[in-house]
Structure 1
Amino acid sequence: MPFKTEADAGVAERDEWSYSPAVGVGPLRFGMTVDEVVEAAEMLGQSSVSELAQRHELFSPTWKIEVRRHGVAPSPPAVTAYASQAVGLFCVAADAVHGPQVAYDRLTLVGRDLSELERDAIAYAEAADVHFRYTPEGYAGPDDPGVIIRAQLVGQVLRSRPLFMVTRDGANTEWDSLPYEEYRNGQFHA
């Protein structure tokens, strides 16, 4: 019998969202205002908005929108979205346990054991005759600058917490646009 983690327990209840590079993920479209993000996220759950401390003079004021699933006891956010004053929505993070399932073509990205995701990313790239890439932290994922695979500790297993992004004001790449709150400990989002 395979070992089951918290991430496995909620898979049947996950919403399925689509991802379109440079366009958006699920009901969220890059460039949306904070109010538009809150309105679009109502289908998933209740939102809370907080303004983030400005850590770099380069970036305009930024807000974090946390969305918790309807009907789920108090839990971590299923989705965390980031919007800046200059460009609107630029980043959407899907929680490994509570977030919606998002696939890149046929490669499922959310809540995956990172070693299994790496194996599947390599197999997908070989079968489709495309490339895959590693993040600077060593996590494998699709060869799309708008998808950054992050780790989230679930029990004793690192699971995938993908970020879907576009470049925000003043940044050169999506990696440069990574919100400090997602990057803060450098190894995994706890």
Structure 2
Amino acid sequence: MWKVGVWTVVDEADRVQWEMLPGESVGPLKFGMSHNEAAAAIADVLSPLTTRGGYGSPVESSELSLVGAAIAPAVTAYYDAGRLACVAVNALRGPQVTLDGLRLVGRVPSELEDAFTEYTSTNGHDLRYSQHADPGSETLGLVLRAQRAGDVVLSRPVLVASTWAERCCDVTEGCIPAEEWRDRAW
């Protein structure tokens, strides 16, 4: 771990390693799982921290922390009508998620954007930008957000099920909840 002011960032070697399968899964979390199925799938690595209702919409969220770690979220899971539809990975302490070997978590955003642009171009995926200038891809169901760690900014991927992929980079018309588009400093 290293510190940036009061923010602690997990070393790359200490991160849990997960692979992303676009539109299907993020590590052991498979899109479409119920909250209980997701909790069971990650019980040895993550534990529930908080769960919030949909506030008038069918979308609920659950923050998960690393087992035995400080009480701070490592992953935020979003459920649509009770089924896992979106996973946002904390840049400071979340698992390292890779896409065909491309590391997505805790990186300098400009360096990741260059690598992601090359990846999408080489592999025939679309490249889009949110209204906040976050790169992403509907065909991959992925938006590369940024998260503060003091004066440093690191990558925070938001991965969605294929049912949420259309317009996933659109802040106003996509399915990703508004709270996920806010700047993160934790």
1:52 aligns with 2:53: yes
Q: Which one of the candidate residues 162, 165, 173 is aligned to 2:167?
A: 173
Q: 1:83 aligns with which of 79, 86, 91?
A: 79
CA displacement at 1:77 relative to structure 2: 0.8
Q: Report the alpha carbon displacement of residue 148 of structure 1 after superposing the two structures with TM.
A: 1.0
Cα distance, 1:182 vs structure 2? 0.7
TM-score, with structure 2 as normaliser: 0.80
1:102 touches 1:109 (CA, 8 Å); kept in 2? yes
Instruction: Tell me how far 1:164 sits from its aligned partner.
Output: 0.8
SS at match of 1:177: coil
1:112 to 107, 116, 119: 107
SS of the residue 1:110 aligns to: coil
Identity of aligned residues (%): 35
TM-score by length of 1: 0.79
Residue aligned with 1:121, SS? helix
Cα deviation code 1:131-156 (max 9, x no counterpart) = 54433321235563410111111121
2:69 equivalent among 67, 72, 82: 72
1:38 aligns with 2:48: no
Structure 1 residue 125 displacement after superposition: 4.6
Q: Pick the aligned partner of 2:145 from 118, 125, 150.
A: 150
Match of 2:96 in 1: 101
Aligned residues of 2:50 and 2:64 also touching (Cα < 8 A): no
Which protein is bigger by CA-based radius of gyration? 1
Deviation at 1:113, TM superposition (A): 0.9
Partner of 1:18, secondary structure, is: strand
Superposed CA RMSD: 2.7
Change (3 A) 1:4 1:28: same
User: For residues 124 and 89 of structure 2, what CA distance do their matches in structure 1 show?
Assistant: 24
User: Which amino acid in structure 2 is aligned with residue 77 of structure 1?
Assistant: P
Aligned length: 176
Contact 2:10–2:93 (CA<8 Å) still a contact in 1?
Answer: no
Unaligned runs of 5+ in 2: none
